[in-house]
Amino acid sequence: MDALGYVHNVAAANLRANTSNLIGLIVRDFSDSFATRVMASIVQALERQNYMVFPGQPQNKEQALERCLLSFKQQGVAGVIYLSSDNFTSSLPDKLRRCPLPLVVVSQSLPEENCDLVMRDNRQAAILATRYLIERGHRNIAYIGGAENDRIRLQRLLGFRSALSQYGMAFREEFTPACTESTQAASQVTLLERNNTVTALLCHSPNAVIGGISGIHQVGRTPGKDVFLTQQVALPGFEDMLHINLTSPSVTCVSSASEETGRQAAGLILRKIGEPHLLPQRITLSGHLVVRESA
């Protein structure tokens, strides 16, 4: 066998056994940091189980998604994992909902969908961050960033409101300004020019963090932990990203649990392949607080 250079033909073996070691992976947005980290974790977890990943990146069009699913079928994939990056709708595309293959969805904003789902608990993440700020003495906390109808923002605001209520603090709409996903827009809604009593900015996204830092400096204050120094403004976020942690100070955040999300998605698709009649499962993952210099 060595002399002849024999290589086991997995495709032929799968054909004989009527099985496949291929998993289709749909990633709509490679620029989404959460999705790319989850994707890397999925690939690693499946490779350890001798599965290979067949990726597809359809644009936000039904026809492109249909072609992607057809390609998966032609390649004989055993199941499909869909990494959703749509934060504005509560349902899956129709083509996916009718997919005959075992399907697992990874999302940050699809709590109403009846499917096998692995998702991040944005409400709990906001509770964690808000409690931390309150317990450090902050009483005027703003939530900045995210579009008005962004479902992740809406889920986090529920957690923000809940944490404030638990400590007997009022929720103030004017302290939750929405904005487009840009650093400049976030810098302009920090509230600090109009209200110098704000001592903490809970940032919706990495762009909001960078914009928040800029807005803090523009009013002559600095990001940091010390609530007793009125010059400082605490600045936690929700994403543990490399380019954010190159900032000074390094950013306190609630981790995205992206690696565990990928492992859970990989495990769930393998269970669905082995037991196709399992009832839909929902796995919700909470991140943990990573305390650094900014809050």
- Residues 136, 96 share a domain: no
Residue 15 lies in a domain: yes
The pLDDT tens digits for 249-274 are 889 999 989 999 999 999 999 999 99
Examine the pLDDT at 163 and tell me if it is beyond 70. Answer: yes
**Omega before 249 within 30 of 0, i.e. cis:** yes
Candidate from 98-102, 147-151, 242-246 with smallest mean pLDDT: 242-246
Residue 159 lies in a domain: yes
- Residues 242, 156 share a domain: yes
Residue 227: pLDDT band with limits 50, 70, 90: low
- Residues 155, 113 share a domain: no
- Output the pLDDT for position 4: 59
For residue 269, what is the domain's CATH number?
3.40.50.2300
- Residues 97, 39 share a domain: yes
- Residues 112, 87 share a domain: yes
Average pLDDT over residues 49-67: 88
For the ranges 58-67, 191-200, 227-236, 264-273, the maximum mean pLDDT occurs at 264-273
Angstrom CA distances, 180 to 35, 123, 139, 190, stand at 20, 21, 26, 13
Give CA–CA dist 28/38, Å, rounded: 13
Contact 215, 200 (CB under 8 A): no
Residue 229: pLDDT band with limits 50, 70, 90: low
Examine the pLDDT at 246 and tell me if it is beyond 80. Answer: no
- Residues 178, 215 share a domain: yes
- Residues 154, 30 share a domain: no
- Output the pLDDT for position 38: 94
The pLDDT tens digits for 206-222 are 889 999 999 999 999 99
Residue 4 lies in a domain: no
- Residues 247, 145 share a domain: yes
Residue 3 lies in a domain: no
Residue 32 lies in a domain: yes
Residue with tokens 């969908």: 113
Average pLDDT over residues 129-149: 95
Q: How many domains does the chain fold into?
A: 2
* Short-list 239, 31, 42, 206, CA closest to 122: 239
Residue 80 lies in a domain: yes
Burial 240-269 (b: 16+ CB within 10 A, else e): bbeebbebebebbbbbbbbbbbbbbbbbbb
Range of the domain at 157: 122-254
Residue 109 lies in a domain: yes
- Residues 116, 126 share a domain: no
- Residues 189, 150 share a domain: yes
- Residues 98, 21 share a domain: yes
- Residues 205, 178 share a domain: yes
Q: For the chain, give the mean pLDDT.
A: 88
Residue 5 lies in a domain: no
Angstrom CA distances, 214 to 22, 153, 204, 240, stand at 46, 21, 15, 19
